[in-house]
Structure 1
Amino acid sequence: MTHLADPVIQLNPTPNPTPSPTPSPTPDPRLTQVDELVLLVTQDQKRYLLRLREGRKFHCHLGLIEHAELIGQSLGTTVFTQLGHAVLILDPSLSDLMTHIKRGTQIIYPKDAAYLVHRLSLRAGSRVIEAGTGSGGLTTALAWAVAPTGTIYTYETRPEIYNLARNNLERVGLLSHVKMHQKSIEDGFEQSGVDALFLDVREPWHFLPAVQMALRPGGYFASLLPTTNQVSDLLFGLEAVGFSDIAVEEILLRAYKPVPDRLRPDDNMVGHTGFLIFARHIIDPVDPSRWLSRDRKRYAARTQAAATIRKEEERRVEERAAGGLKYPPMNLPD
């Protein structure tokens, strides 16, 4: 009878050597060109947005670089100032474009803008109305999302802010996707059948009938408000005109320090910056209230029950005062 040898168990087996993968060919780098918008990042994490021009110089606290030295460089390349400090050349992200615009008003934070693009379901080809252009921060994000075939229709009444936003959009190369209107929305919007509409105004509930006229059936509505009183007024307005899928949300962003040996939250947190209100335009001429949220229906039922109980208790008080029967107390339903 043949006996098989017991297997040898290695507590710390030596792994089989893995052959080095064959390096894939590096694609040809994209070189920077004249009139291109680039981002320069210094070693101390300062970020600068500039458009490359022949014969110009870039100055910062670490020295200067001729634009000619930046033109024709590969994105992701490190260059040096005349003082020997390293500077990284990158293509700017959407967040860079938004945060580096010239401001005449408070801009919507990138965290809120990104979530708005998501909740409004924007894509290439979408048609969107924005009321309250401001400095053009959100307009930049909206235009970025709907390009190259979509259009943003934005309204601003103040001429100096209108011109500032126009210059900002032209600087970042997105003006061709935006139709700007320097006018009030008191008389409504010039467009109809749009996919989404965002109001950045103090009292958005006054314009909800015009919003309904401009949105396609099923279209998306959103607004950003700083106070709970304004949010409540807008919610009442949305219910009154028959919107559905109503939601109120806020975005809190916490960054972490990218230190693998000691991972911990950053000292500063981008907390509450505003309340985001969302809704959908529907057509239900019979009973649009049937599409309200479960929480809203439950609260309405509880309020109605409380009113009924209060009325009954008042009747019983009067009956007892007249020498009638005594009743046990009535409680609200759970």
Structure 2
Amino acid sequence: MSEPTGAARRRGPFQVGDQVQLTDPKGRHYTFTLEEGKSFHTHKGAFPHDELIGAPEGSVVRTTGNVAYLALRPMLPDYVLSMPRGAAVVYPKDAGQVLAMADIFAGARVVEAGVGSGSLSMFLLRAVGDHGMLHSYERRADFADIARNNVERYFGGPHPAWQLTVGDLQDNLSDTDVDRIILDMLAPWECLDAVSKALVPGGLLCAYVATTTQLARTVEAIREHGTFNEPAAWETMVRNWHVEGLAVRPDHRMIGHTGFLLTARRLADGVEPPLRRRRPAKGAYGEDYTGPGAKSAEGRDSSSRSAS
């Protein structure tokens, strides 16, 4: 049985063409591609690439300035933060949440809208595997080119499960029987008709948005659409800790807000979503509310109160 795409590049001795991540004594990272006859230069001296070619991963090299660097292959979270960018990347902390909370599984049929620089695409491709399907849609051709180059550089060539289309999702989506749809775009509420038609019953929609305004409008549009269950929304924050003997404390900096995630499941055809039993906050759908379904919001509020 052949190895999954890109797996051979993740193990064994360093080879020509491999990405190498060096870590200096202060923990700073430097990433480059191994080439015969080339040298890696820093302000602390240089060393030849040939010194690493054929060496095991986890080797230590020293520059002419006698500074030691640890050599490892960059993990995918490292790679996406250092690769060329067209648009902002989906941070690894959010990509991990998408993989887990959107239940991305091997062999899944996934549609992604808003490729950006290809960060999330790579995480999704590793999860669905060679026998799954990831169809990515990107409006901007320049972003699509950057994403394609980043993906192919990481996997060592085209990925057999990946199809990339330049254009709007709502105008070009022709996929059917889709298991998961991931929307990383400014107005995901505009795509709900197309998304609902493409998803299988029980399929999952996951949206990644940056602001509370986008979050509120997307959630309310999903509720109003009537083909999804009650959406769940959240954000994640990551704080590292410094551990040195008894000196254990949180780092002064953290990865705080990057975006909101929300998920909703596709209902079976002809099924109405059950009434929410949680009472909305007083004034949530007051006279100042102008979001999706504003005209029916008062009735929905009353229904929720009666159900509770």
Q: TM-score, normalised by structure 2?
A: 0.83
Seen in structure 2, the aligned counterparts of structure 1 residues 55 and 273 have a Cα distance that, compared at 3 Å, is: same
Q: Is the 8 A contact 2:110 2:135 kept in 1?
A: yes
Seen in structure 2, the aligned counterparts of structure 1 residues 53 and 258 have a Cα distance that, compared at 3 Å, is: same
Task: Write the deviation string for residues 210-267 of structure 1: whole angstroms up to 9, x where unpaired.
Answer: 0112222111111111222211211121112221141010001111012232000000
Q: Secondary structure at the match of 1:186?
A: helix
Are 2:173 and 1:186 equivalent residues in the alignment? no
Which letter maps to 2:151? L
Q: Is the 8 A contact 2:144 2:166 kept in 1?
A: yes
Are 2:263 and 1:278 equivalent residues in the alignment? yes
Task: Write the deviation string for residues 5-39 of structure 1: whole angstroms up to 9, x where unpaired.
Answer: xxxxxxxxxxxxxxxxxxxxxxxx93111222222
Q: Secondary structure at the match of 1:30?
A: coil
Q: Is the 8 A contact 2:276 2:307 kept in 1?
A: no
Which residue of 2 is the match for residue 266 of structure 1?
251
Percent identical across equivalent pairs? 35
Which residue of 2 is the match for residue 86 of structure 1?
68
Which residue of 2 is the match for residue 299 of structure 1?
280
* Per-residue deviation, 1:148: 3.3
CA distance in 2, matches of 1:260, 1:231: 43
Are 2:185 and 1:165 equivalent residues in the alignment? no
Q: Is the 8 A contact 1:254 1:265 kept in 2?
A: yes
* Per-residue deviation, 1:56: 2.0
Which letter maps to 1:69? E
* Per-residue deviation, 1:41: 1.4
Which residue of 2 is the match for residue 232 of structure 1?
216
**Equivalenced residues, count:** 278
Q: Secondary structure at the match of 1:64?
A: strand
Which residue of 2 is the match for residue 115 of structure 1?
97
Long gaps (5+) in structure 2: 1-10, 286-297, 300-305
Q: Is the 8 A contact 1:104 1:164 kept in 2?
A: yes
Q: Secondary structure at the match of 1:190?
A: coil
CA distance in 1, matches of 2:104, 2:200: 14
Output aligned runs, 1:36-115, within 5 Å.
Answer: 36-115=18-97
Which residue of 2 is the match for residue 132 of structure 1?
114
Output aligned runs, 1:208-227, within 5 Å.
Answer: 208-227=192-211
Seen in structure 2, the aligned counterparts of structure 1 residues 83 and 206 have a Cα distance that, compared at 3 Å, is: same
Are 2:137 and 1:155 equivalent residues in the alignment? yes
Q: Is the 8 A contact 1:106 1:135 kept in 2?
A: yes
| Partner residue of 1:203 out of 187, 193, 208 | 187
Q: Is the 8 A contact 1:98 1:141 kept in 2?
A: no
| Structure 1 stretch displaced more, 37-46 or 97-106 | 37-46
CA distance in 1, matches of 2:284, 2:191: 28
CA RMSD of aligned residues (A): 2.6
Bigger Rg over Cα:
1
Q: Secondary structure at the match of 1:299?
A: coil
CA distance in 2, matches of 1:234, 1:99: 28
Q: Which protein, 1 or 2, shows the higher relative CO under an 8 Å CA cutoff with sep ≥ 6?
A: 2
